[in-house]
Chain A
Amino acid sequence: MDEIKTTVRRSAWDRFKAFLYLVGEFFAEFCRDIRDGDVWVRLSLLVFGAGYFARKQYVKGLLVTAFQAFVFIFYPTVLWPYLSKFGTLGTVKRAAVFNPVTMKNEVNDYDHSFMILLFGLIAILVIVAMLVFWVKNLRAVRRLQVLAESGKKVNTFADDIREMLNKKFYITLLALPSLGVTLFTIVPLLVMLCVAFTNYDQTHMVPTSLFTWVGFANFKTLFTHSQTITFGYSFGKVITWTLIWAVFATSTNFIFGILLAMFINNKKTLWKGLWRTLFVVAIAVPQFVSLLLVRNFFANTGIVNTICANIGLTGFLKQIGLVSQGSAYIPFLTDPVWAKVMIILINMWVGIPYLMLIATGILMNIPQDILESARIDGANALQSFRKITMPYILFVTGPYLVSSFTANINNFNVIYLLTNDVFVTKDQMLANSNAQEVDLLITWLYRLTQNYYNYKMASVLGILIFIISAAFTVFAFRKLIQGDREERFQ
């Protein structure tokens, strides 16, 4: 056991050292390029395209220089005003100022903290990107020089384009998707990570007000439990329920989904396709329809309660104490304990057919000859399930299990659609920090932003969700799933 641990630690350390080495190498090569390059290569440090012109790559030279000019004009005029205020996130509050020329009250030239944060970050990213581009460009120019001096053929622009469809096709393929991911995931995520270190909340709303950096104060708030701040209390409750939920939601669906698949796949079952379709129909209906429907189905004054009252179930539950005496209905989705149980049950309703589908595909793929030879060797059904089917399913679905656990930590739909507007917490301490008993971290985060504009705490929660998911994923992949299966079938 210890041996495994040390190897893991050493490999992580080694990887870090390898990374440092790469970074060092990157700069060392940059220096070598400057030392060995001719005057055109060195000139490329100032005018990016110079080296290309010297080797008669005029179009490329022009494009690179034009790009450089664009950034150099664009940067000071558009991005610098934001970056210069990045340290304070703005100081001029919005106000109406009397303008003696027009004789009217006008809005002053105020600072917009969020825009400063956003464009300041973009400005920093542009600087980093330009630095990398600068170094890479020098490398390319230097290579061109070596190529030209050794008398080899220097690519024409047409050759370069052709290269983009052949050896460098991956650049063509990845360019647009990476741009999309940068704009719609990476930059926004960085902004929200920064928000966790500011005081952006309801009392500091842009554009009428400013917000600023507060360091780790929000993280401290999250773990504080006092008379006025109950975030620590709520966080403990919410994270406990989130983990319980994730374990139950993942395991119940997994176990029962596989059992159902095996039950249907059994040789003795007739009309297999029909049964599968019946179950799939239930989940093919979009969740916002089926879950909103189920929530009305189980409402306090809903049809299920009417039926339960008619057949005397409500009265029976009152007698055994599962429903409080004063209540005329079963509080399916309004009592904390009932709601939690119902949510897990309804999630089984939503999730089991999915697992059944996946497991069916896998079951059909189990090498039949292994099962056959096991049968000939005298293994009974239970043994071959335990020794062959189960390990095979676990092996194939391992990564799926891990990702469905993290997906369940973030399972917004089930909780939100079932309980929003329906469940109201009676726990004052939870209500104080805008949480509820049935909240997962993600629904709490959602309510904090959409209803209470508490962006700072929402961002802190987001970071914690990431840490939990990442820790679990790394742990699971290290311990549960071994080996790189990527090229196994190629």
Chain B
Amino acid sequence: MKVFKLISRHVVLAILSVFWLIPIIWLVATSFGADTGPNIRTFFPQEWSLVQYQTLLFGVDDVSQFPNWFKNTFIIATFTCIISSMFVLMVAYAMSCMRFKARKGLITFASTLSLFPGFLSMIAVYFIMKSIGLTNSNIGLILVYSGSSGLGYLIAKGFFDTVPKSMREAAYIEGATEFKVFYKIVMPLSKPIIVYTVIAAFLMPWMDFIFANIMLNSGLSENKTVAIGLYAMVDKVRINSYFGQFCAGGVLVSIPISALFIIMQKFYVEGVTGGSVKG
């Protein structure tokens, strides 16, 4: 009876995980198929081939410019990552470890701001960007992604809140400045949350669809990011010639992204729950 329970427990898990993985399996399978459009006859492709990857990477045309998209997104992600990680950690430290008159007010104000749909302000940001000629450019998107990133400080602040006050106080007594405490004491203790912040900032441009879609309206394929480019491929008029390439592109971005995502989750759990650094 015990054995039966043990087996059934794992059978349930196996069925569930198959259920969760079916679309992913379909994605990978289709990407290795020969059909350009969606295969609607069988689950697995009737003919296996590498042609989708080949055309995606080397057969660049008006619609499909995957190498360009990847390059754009990578540049945007790198700069966004640098700027917004710095912003997030700076704001989080100020809000968590320092005490000043406007602090409570600023925290309330920031959480009020985040209740507005971010997309609403993006409409006006689009016009501002347009007036200085930065739509359809990497710089414009970097600014859009990193500009307001300081508002996303809460998770890092939550972590800094758990760094014992006594450690900082000991440093103050020895004459350390606040700046020294920031980068010599609190930062080295905060590795999990720094890694989390950096990866989260890097992933943002890869995952975002809505902001990029507003900023990139020229229709020129070479300006696009991966998300916007791939979306255009499954458009009603293009899907029959590009679905195979969409799947190949999806696999290619998903590999690095999901690896980073899994690392990020690990550090998130460590940062939020772990007592490892609170020594």
Q: Which residues of A contact B (CB under 8 A)?
A: 114-115, 118, 162, 165-167, 169-170, 172-174, 176-178, 180-181, 183-189, 191-192, 195, 260, 263-264, 266, 268-270, 275, 277-290, 292-297, 299, 301-303, 305-307, 349, 353, 357, 360-362, 364-365, 406, 410, 412-413, 416-417, 421, 442, 445-446, 449-450, 455, 458-459, 462, 465-466, 469-470, 473, 486-487, 489-490
Comparing B47-55, B56-64, B114-122, the segment that makes contact with chain A is B114-122
Total residue contacts A-B, CB cutoff 8 A = 253
**Whole-angstrom distance from the CB of A84 to the nearest CB of chain B?**
19
Instruction: Say whether A170 contacts B98, CB under 8 Å.
Output: yes
Residues of A within 8 A of B239 (CB): 296
The answer to whether residues A287 and B207 also contact, given A169-B178, A269-B10 and a CB cut-off of 8 A, is: yes
Q: Which residues of A contact B235 (CB under 8 A)?
A: 421
* Contact present for A286 and B254 (CB under 8 Å): yes
Alpha-carbon distance A287/B203, docked complex (angstroms)? 12
Check B40 against A185 for contact (C-beta < 8 Å): no
Closest Cβ–Cβ distance, residue A118 to chain B (whole Å):
7
CA distance A388 to B103 in the complex (A): 35
Residues of B within 8 A of A487 (CB): 161
Bound-state Cα–Cα, A372 to B122, Å: 52
In the complex, the answer to whether A296 meets B243 with C-beta atoms within 8 Å is: yes
B214 nearest CB neighbor, chain A only: A450
Contact A278 B21 (CB under 8 A): yes
A residues less than 8 Å from B131 (CB atoms): 115
Q: In whole angstroms, what is the CA distance A172 to B93 when docked?
A: 11
Return the contact of A303 from the options B26, B103, B250 (Cβ within 8 A).
B26
B239-262 interface (Cβ within 8 A of A): 239, 243, 246-247, 250, 253-254, 257-259, 261-262
CB proximity of B92 to chain A, nearest CB, Å: 9
Chain B residues in 8 Å Cβ range of A189: 113, 116, 120-121, 124
**Known contacts being A180-B149, A362-B273, is A284 close to B258, with CB within 8 Å?**
yes
A-chain residues with CB within 8 Å of residue B148 when the two chains form the complex: 180-181, 184-185
The distance from the CB of A243 to the nearest CB of chain B, in whole angstroms, is 16
Query: Is A290 a contact partner of B23 (Cβ separation < 8 A)?
Result: yes
- B178-205 vs A: 1/0 string, CB under 8 Å? 1100100000000000000000000000
New A-B contacts (10) at CB < 8 Å, excluding given A187-B128, A283-B261: A181-B147, A195-B124, A266-B9, A280-B262, A284-B259, A292-B234, A295-B234, A416-B209, A450-B214, A455-B123
Establish whether residues B40 and A281, one from each chain, have CB atoms under 8 Å apart when the complex forms: no
Among candidates B16, B121, B269, B273, residue contacting A188 with C-beta atoms closer than 8 Å: B121
Of all A-B residue pairs in the complex, the 10 with the closest CB atoms, nearest first, are: A177-B150, A284-B258, A184-B147, A188-B124, A188-B121, A462-B120, A169-B178, A289-B250, A165-B179, A361-B269
Is the Cβ of B207 less than 8 Å from the Cβ of A302? no
Instruction: From the candidates A166, A279, A465, name the one contacting B20 in the complex (CB within 8 A).
Output: A279
Does B21 lie within 8 Å of A360, measured CB to CB?
no
Contact indicator B234/A173 (Cβ below 8 Å): no
Known: A169-B177, A170-B100, A189-B121. A302 touches B40 (CB 8 A): yes
Give A288 to B103 CA distance when docked, in angstroms.
Answer: 38
Given A188-B124, A293-B27, A180-B21 contact (CB < 8 Å): no
A192 contacts B120, CB within 8 Å? yes
**Nearest-Cβ distance from residue A397 to partner chain B, whole angstroms:** 11
Of the candidates B13, B100, B231, the one having the most CB atoms from chain A within 10 angstroms of its own CB is B13
A192 touching B230, Cβ below 8 Å: no
Minimum C-beta distance from B125 to chain A (A): 5
Q: With an 8 A cutoff between CB atoms, is B24 at the interface?
A: yes
Docked CA distance A195–B123 (Å): 11
Residue on A with the closest CB to B227?
A288
* CB contact under 8 A between A288 and B209, given known A186-B113, A189-B121: yes
Contact B262 A184 (CB under 8 A): no
Closest Cβ–Cβ distance, residue A101 to chain B (whole Å): 29
Please name all residues of chain A whose beta carbon is closer than 8 Å to the beta carbon of B10 when the two chains form the complex: 269-270
Residue of A nearest to B237 (CB): A421
Q: Which residues of B contact A270 (CB under 8 A)?
A: 10
* Residue B75, interface by CB 8 Å: no
For the complex, give the distance between the alpha carbons of A275 and B121 in Å: 41
Q: Is the CB of A490 within 8 A of B117?
A: no
B128 lies within 8 A of A188 (CB) = yes
Contact check, A285 vs B258: say whether CB atoms are below 8 A apart.
Answer: yes
Residues from chain A with a CB closer than 8 A to the CB of B276 are none
Q: Is B144 a contact partner of A184 (Cβ separation < 8 A)?
A: yes
Residues of B with C-beta under 8 A to A269? 9-10, 13
In the complex the two chains form, is A288's CB within 8 Å of B178's CB? no
Residues of chain B within 8 A (CB-CB) of A173 are: 90-91, 93-94, 98, 182
